[in-house]
Amino acid sequence: MAALSMTGKRGALVLGVSWLVVFLLLGSLAVAVQFFGRAGVLREQDEVVFLPIEKADIRPKAAVAAKPVPLPPPQIFETPPGGILPAILSPSEKAALAANPPPPSAPPVADATPPVALPPLAGGPSIANPALLEKTPQGYLPRISETGVWPLNAYAGPNPGTGRPRIAIVIGGLGISAKATQAAITALPAGVTLAFAPYAADVEHWVSLARQKGHEVLLQVPMEPYDFPDSDPGQYTLRSSVGEEGNIKRLTWSLTRITGYVGVTNLLGARFLSDSGSVEPMLTYLMRRGLMFYDNGTASHSVTKDVAGRLGAPFVQATNTIDSIQASMEIDHRLADLEAEARSKGSAAGTGFLYPVTIERVNLWARGLPGRGFVLAPVSAIVPAEKK
């Protein structure tokens, strides 16, 4: 009996010690959780705080806006001794050059080669005639040839002749969207003049394609709008506050982006075109390089007509923006207004953008023009003959 009693006491002691160890372990665990974290256990009374995404900076990489890719710098060319010489001449130019040979400092014409970095000059309309180019540190500038040929006349589209009222349609905004540019060049009739913005790196390719399709080409030059800088056409924008020298430098940049155009038109520009002190040097510079100016009619206070008349510069002003309301019926009404103006004045010019609805309505409208007694003409064809 004594042995059994001793065994029972030892069992009770072992059981008690075991329970004591368990309680000590549970207590230690509680203390650890309290001081070192709750091991992912979230109680109902716990407060949950969510950091804003912009503060937490945990946005996925795809959601971060990509920085715009800067345009490549202009290619630098060296002006050869004696300046650029014509490499491709018409028979009349060859005869004129023989009668008035270049100065002795210039290399012989027979040794002249076409300028480098130009698209091929063979096969379809030439994208550029070397006789009409001046090689500068900024790139190729248009110029009047040694024999007096203007780019305005050399790159002009087919003149439909006289006898019927002429209507010119200029569609702008080409060269920015490849898909929209391709659609405009392909779908629009050849008589429609196309205006290209100077920014895209491949704009010369689209100009070449447009001219092969028979389109006359204008260059869109960015100009200061009234709401600048909210509307900012870019660092090469012509501005009334920059001054003549600064604007000519900016204009030169635009003029060297492409070749093969008959003249310049405004990209925005309501404020700039309202300042005769800014407009006159620009038109003078363009005229000296054998180019016309087309006022697209979007600047309500433009002084270009008066300044061009005073200078005798080749000039056309649109009187109608055909797609200010992008609806088929409204565009049809504006085109009808151009017909009425052409019937009374002999010619008219309207401006549009390469919206799909604009391309569709102009294409359909042009098909019926001959039956209504009108001709679709490139914009150069309505420049007065005495100003060419």
- Domain of 301, CATH number, reads 3.20.20.370
State the Cα–Cα distance between residues 28 and 23, nearest whole angstrom. Answer: 9
Question: Does the pLDDT value for residue 293 go beyond 50?
Answer: yes
Question: φ, ψ for residue 121 (rounded to 5)?
Answer: -95, -5
Q: Two tokens at 367?
A: 């098909």
Per-residue pLDDT, averaged over 236-250, amounts to 95
> How crowded is residue 280: how many other Cβ atoms within 10 Å of its Cβ?
19
Domain interval for residue 312: 151-387
State the Cα–Cα distance between residues 217 and 197, nearest whole angstrom. Answer: 11
Amino acid 385: pLDDT:
83
Domain count, the chain: 1
State the Cα–Cα distance between residues 11 and 17, nearest whole angstrom. Answer: 10
Helix (H, G, I), strand (E, B) or coil at 170: strand
- Whether pTM > 0.75 for this model: the answer is no
Nearest to 334 by CA among 321, 318, 317: 321
Note whether 360 and 184 are within 8 A (CB): no
Q: Each residue of 351-375: pLDDT tens digit? A: 999 999 999 999 999 999 999 999 9
- Domain presence at residue 111: no
Amino acid 123: pLDDT:
35
Amino acid 18: pLDDT:
63
- Which residues does 191 contact at the CB level (< 8 Å), separation at least 6? 157, 160, 169, 214, 366, 375, 376, 377, 378
Amino acid 11: pLDDT:
57
Q: Each residue of 98-113: pLDDT tens digit? A: 555 544 444 333 333 3
Query: Alpha carbon of 88 to those of 107, 109, 115, 121, 257: distances in Å?
Result: 15, 10, 11, 9, 22
Beta bridge partners of 316: 294
The per-residue pLDDT of the chain, averaged, comes to: 78
- Domain presence at residue 194: yes
CB under 8 Å, gap of 24 or more: what pairs does 332-336 form?
Answer: 332/361, 332/365, 335/361, 335/362, 335/365
- Which residues does 236 contact at the CB level (< 8 Å), separation at least 6? 198, 222, 250, 253, 254
Please classify residue 168 by burial: count the beta carbons closer than 10 Å to its beta carbon, then call 0-12 exposed, 13-18 middle and 19+ buried. Answer: buried
For helices 356-367 and 178-187, what crossing angle results, to 10°? 10
Note whether 257 and 175 are within 8 A (CB): no
- Domain presence at residue 59: no
- Domain presence at residue 142: no
Question: Does the pLDDT value for residue 174 go beyond 90?
Answer: yes
Q: Which of the four pLDDT bands, split at 50, 70 and 90, describes residue 77?
A: very low
Percent of the chain with pLDDT over 70: 67
Helix (H, G, I), strand (E, B) or coil at 273: helix
Percent of the chain with pLDDT over 90: 57
State the Cα–Cα distance between residues 68 and 107, nearest whole angstrom. Answer: 45
Question: Does the pLDDT value for residue 118 go beyond 60?
Answer: no
Question: φ, ψ for residue 366 (rounded to 5)?
Answer: -65, -30
- Domain presence at residue 124: no
